[in-house]
Structure 1
């Protein structure tokens, strides 16, 4: 199986730089090759920065996009995946008893308006 960087090198070698094309969404100059493959056909790997990424080894699954459109597209797809994911909620751990607070009643005069219980005059 091909890695993320190998796939992008093949894409650049085969189809050229994305910057030579127009963004498929807005028509501005593209900057990135964006993967539009279905989630079921995606592979996972690491990019050159060591971040976990999903990608497709199918070069036809990439379209040129400008950076703002690419980020928006990826954010929308991530939101869709989160919304449709059927993740079980982890069971809650044992509940700790509430923290005890102690109220101490003092038989002293108030601090202001007279002599303090310690003999200080204000």
Structure 2
């Protein structure tokens, strides 16, 4: 069965970096026989409407952008009560949300490794 991916991005941001990344993702996924829907608009409202209308047909979503784009996408997903796997490709100026997610994951991993090493040291 062909998987349908949505790629949500802000085509008006920055120097067009999100658009370049979206088109590259589209190309790579199409090479894997996936169906790809590019989801964007001329305004935030229009982009969110396109995402809301596309959600029922998507198996997964890729969000390309920064904190604002992430917030826009997750707001639509939550509002429509339509959970689905989401991949994130940073293309924002600051990406604070991504940094926070990565930091928390790194800290959790470090704690797990530290705990494992501590427990292993006493098992000899």
Q: TM-score range by the shorter chain?
A: under 0.3
- With the length of structure 2 as denominator, give the TM-score of the two structures: 0.27
Q: Which has the larger radius of gyration?
A: 1
Considering fraction of residues, name the structure with more strand. Answer: 2
- With the length of structure 1 as denominator, give the TM-score of the two structures: 0.27
